[in-house]
Structure 1
Amino acid sequence: MQNRTPRIPEQPAPNPADLDARLTLELASVVTGARRRALRDGDRQIDTAHLLHSLIESDPAVREAFDGGPQLARVLGYLVQRSIGYGLRWQGSVEDSGAVPVVRGAAADGWSPSAVSAMEAAGHRAGLRGESRAGGLDLLSALAADTECRAVEVLARAGVDAEWLAARAAEATAEASRQV
């Protein structure tokens, strides 16, 4: 019997050495979790909803950015429905919010263009603060800022204002930077 689960290459995104160098250990763990979730869900690519799900599960600062349990519970509910095959159905399609041109070739295999854009934006946000590595709140801000990505669709269906969440994540990141 042939395995029908698509294989997602181990490369995290275009220019993997540069990206890996720009991630905190915690965010690297998020990427690993998103990859595992995509494989388990039978998806061809890691998309922004996989990143959001893994980010919420693994980063307490991200959970705090939601400002209370009901919103977070609704978001997790949608994400869990998706992972068990109900609710939001994107399997077999490529996520492309239009934020970046569609990347073709082996360098982007296993990642949706929107997920690549979010990872790059997270690194850029960290760089603007003078940090060499992106963290979970950087990625949350980047995900919430892309109004056309699947993560924002999940947030909207759960009643979370993505602009508000992006601003809260940016505030929390700035506050954490001031405390260091």
Structure 2
Amino acid sequence: MRNPPSRVPHQSAPARIDELEAQLAPELMSVVAGARRRAHRGADAQIDTAHLLHSLLEADPEVRAVFDGEPQLTRVLGYLVQRSIGYGLRWQGTVEDSGALPVVRRREVPGWSPPAATAMAAALNRAALRGAPRARGLDLLAALAADASCRAVEVLERAGVDTLSLTDRVSAASRQVSWE
């Protein structure tokens, strides 16, 4: 009698996650762990860009410093907290797919929404262009702000953040940061 086909994902999937996370600075690995916890607590199937933004803002002082003062940062965190408790922006339990970048379909990472995986890949590319061996929080913030159709940008815009101006501030801050 033949065994039914296995429903367990092929072993290469965890290697892809390990490969991705191995290229992150320790601070950014902490951000990913926080985003993973947020997704799990919210019964979301995947880490999305709003999970990443929320964890990034809580964990990285360099990222918080690029916002136009405390009121703007407070508004962004307010939207993110509302989302995490199931109030306000109604994404809980849904899968994020901004559709902004068709290449995302080929870059699927188990447990990550396609836009979140694309943002992380863009953060890694940004670090590589700088000659850095690992991506940092400012790399990820720049990548998140670049996808006008992702949940993170929706949160930023609802909080009154001009994402083009934010991208400029991230670039300026990146030039001032000592990259290891």
User: TM-score band (shorter)?
Assistant: 0.7 to 0.9
In structure 2, relative to structure 1, the CA distance for the partners of 1:135 and 1:102 (3 Å cut) is closer
Which deviations, in whole Å up to 9, do the C-alpha atoms of 1:65-96 show, x marking residues without a partner?
10310100000000000000100011232211
Residue 77 of structure 1 is matched in structure 2 by 78
Residue 169 of structure 1 is matched in structure 2 by 170
Contact 1:114 1:149 in 2 (8 A): yes
Q: CA deviation at 1:103?
A: 3.7
1:15 partner SS: helix
Taking the aligned partners of 1:30 and 1:13, their CA distance within structure 2 comes to 19
Residue type of the alignment partner of 2:82? Q
Residue type of the alignment partner of 1:165? L
Q: CA deviation at 1:109?
A: 2.3
Counterparts in 2 of 1:17-166, with a 5 A limit?
Answer: 17-98=18-99, 99-103=101-105, 108-166=109-167
Contact 1:13 1:116 in 2 (8 A): no
Q: CA deviation at 1:44?
A: 1.1
Q: CA RMSD in A?
A: 2.2
Uncovered stretches (5+) of structure 1, i.e. residues with no partner: 1-10
Q: What is the TM-score normalised by the length of structure 1?
A: 0.86
Contact 2:79 2:159 in 1 (8 A): yes
1:171 partner SS: helix
In structure 2, relative to structure 1, the CA distance for the partners of 1:13 and 1:114 (3 Å cut) is farther
Q: CA deviation at 1:169?
A: 1.1
2:111 partner SS: coil
Q: CA deviation at 1:42?
A: 1.2
In structure 2, relative to structure 1, the CA distance for the partners of 1:60 and 1:12 (3 Å cut) is farther
Which deviations, in whole Å up to 9, do the C-alpha atoms of 1:103-125 show, x marking residues without a partner?
489x6221100000000000000
Give the share of equivalent positions with the same residue, in percent.
63
Q: What is the TM-score normalised by the length of structure 2?
A: 0.86
In structure 2, relative to structure 1, the CA distance for the partners of 1:123 and 1:150 (3 Å cut) is same
Contact 2:31 2:52 in 1 (8 A): yes
Taking the aligned partners of 2:53 and 2:13, their CA distance within structure 1 comes to 16
Residue type of the alignment partner of 1:150? R
Taking the aligned partners of 2:13 and 2:139, their CA distance within structure 1 comes to 17
Q: CA deviation at 1:102?
A: 4.9
Contact 1:100 1:113 in 2 (8 A): no
Taking the aligned partners of 1:154 and 1:130, their CA distance within structure 2 comes to 31
Uncovered stretches (5+) of structure 2, i.e. residues with no partner: 1-11
Q: Which deviates more from structure 2 when the two are superposed, residues 90-99 or residues 71-80? A: 90-99
